[in-house]
Structure 1
């Protein structure tokens, strides 16, 4: 049972006592570090494989091209329009983002627990960051909603530091545990997604995690449109229906778990709630309390390992 914060080592306190896994129906708890604010899913299953059955595929649906192009926009702003460097996408899935980056002129590689789908698309993909060659570092590393899935955050930050060039940029997108959606919907929030999301970040927790690896936040945004909007509508629907994530699964093209009456009702109610809650989506972004947090982080452009170690120790 997890009792101490993975990032700062402080004892955890209870936060959400009942969080149901929408895929298996199992119950989990969400504890929070009172020092850095990082949320922890408790317990964290030793074997997460069964919890990913049916998880992959179709998560962006008809918004795929829009999502990939928007993410390339974040990359462009992070590197001041530079192209032609080396880009690593950690948790690259089927490689959709890597293919978009490659078409934009980047030399790309990725990591993924199941690398076969991306490799079949002709991409260079490894199973873990530890397998990458530090002598061939990257100009930009992206983590699109993958950091919350990682088992050991300090270890991941250290491994990223080994393969990112001095002066390179790290882009991290996570669900915003400090946003209005998380505070309002609590354990029924779509983006809690326990136990696949092992950790839950607000802005302070993400900053602390990055700082431990020698990174400092340079820019931040508070919205990924379809993530945020669906976070409002599906989370509200989770309160209205006894079956979780019906609307999301319909949009993602997942096999229906329920009869046509439940699926149809969930789809129609989801559309209605999407329209009703659209103003909340924009308000959350304006007040920096959206459903998604995206940060660009950098490290000092130094070749002196002692200087970098000094930053990490602060």
Structure 2
């Protein structure tokens, strides 16, 4: 992510004023809606502005510091409740992501996971035969990767990572782009890291999804103020192409994030809360008996939500999307 990781103070997501034009396509932004914060440690409403051309939205106002947004609250260094039982599910998520990469780059080579978190996907990619590494700007992620998976990550933002030009066969940027105030420079930098023909897989929430419409200001994946750019498929495609990448596909039938996101968004609307169960599991919020009771009563609706989300994904309205792009052979 753009910013600094020096010890002189916590890095910020970006600097300067919020964009006056759409960061995806350059179109004009118009006032849209307000949404409650998706992070208990950063309370308050956030105003959003939306592009009149591609439908992408931006979170207005100054971004939170990196430390406040990514080293506190639900992102703090804690073991989530139920994390042991979730391991098989997380492994299935990693396998699907690896299949996305392999579908468009069958030969195993050098892979970099950008925003690698606690290093789980880097470990999975190595086990699948990739020469995999990762960069991660947070100290808690780097420490957890070493402790949990024996993976050494480089602590760096995108613009200060020590990656040689044209040195990578694949890059995964999984739910990182939405955290950036201006994602275009990041994509241009990453495109330069790829060898000609190398692939980039970008996962982001889909503002054009059924989830987003049903959840409204309490959509699970809106997650303001931490998320700064809220992309549509059209906006994501335009952004990638403007960054010099050749778009290969956009996948929306995804196991990771989508079924749970649909269910949690519906529960948020029913309860008038913002992802209460998620934050309880992440130990970012204490259980509130009323909200938790309604949430637990809604658990039987998970298969229904998963089925609806599957249909949404097939129709190009999935809750999150994964764009696959390639560095042109003559790039």
TM-score range normalised by the length of the shorter chain: 0.7 to 0.9
Deviation at 1:134, TM superposition (A): 1.8
| 2:119 equivalent in structure 1 | 95
Paired residues for 1:42-57 under 5 Å = 42-45=60-63, 47-52=65-70, 53-56=72-75
Cα distance change, pair 135–253 in 1 and its aligned pair in 2 (3 A): closer
* Distance in 2 (alpha carbons) for counterparts of 1:282 and 1:7: 27
| 1:21 equivalent in structure 2 | 38
Q: Which residue of 125, 139, 151 maps to 1:122?
A: 151
CA RMSD, 1 decimal: 2.2
* Distance in 2 (alpha carbons) for counterparts of 1:180 and 1:169: 28
| 2:176 equivalent in structure 1 | 146
Aligned residues: 299
TM-score (norm 1): 0.87
Contact map agreement 2:113 2:135 (CA 8 A) in 1: yes
Cα distance change, pair 103–45 in 1 and its aligned pair in 2 (3 A): same
Contact map agreement 1:132 1:163 (CA 8 A) in 2: no
* Distance in 1 (alpha carbons) for counterparts of 2:187 and 2:314: 30
Asked if 1:70 is matched to 2:99, the reply is no
Cα distance change, pair 12–226 in 1 and its aligned pair in 2 (3 A): same
| 2:8 equivalent in structure 1 | none
Contact map agreement 1:111 1:125 (CA 8 A) in 2: yes
Please state whether the residue corresponding to 1:191 is helix, strand or coil.
coil
* Distance in 2 (alpha carbons) for counterparts of 1:149 and 1:59: 25
Cα distance change, pair 74–274 in 1 and its aligned pair in 2 (3 A): same
Paired residues for 1:132-143 under 5 Å = 132-135=162-165, 137-143=167-173
Contact map agreement 2:174 2:203 (CA 8 A) in 1: yes
* Distance in 2 (alpha carbons) for counterparts of 1:249 and 1:77: 34
Larger relative contact order (Cα-Cα within 8 Å, sequence gap ≥ 6): 2
Contact map agreement 1:119 1:125 (CA 8 A) in 2: no
Structure 1 gap segments, 5+ residues each = 303-307, 309-314
Cα distance change, pair 267–184 in 1 and its aligned pair in 2 (3 A): closer
* Distance in 1 (alpha carbons) for counterparts of 2:292 and 2:320: 28
Deviation at 1:75, TM superposition (A): 1.5
Deviation at 1:255, TM superposition (A): 5.2
Cα distance change, pair 118–233 in 1 and its aligned pair in 2 (3 A): same
* Distance in 2 (alpha carbons) for counterparts of 1:95 and 1:267: 31
* Distance in 2 (alpha carbons) for counterparts of 1:74 and 1:150: 23
TM-score (norm 2): 0.83
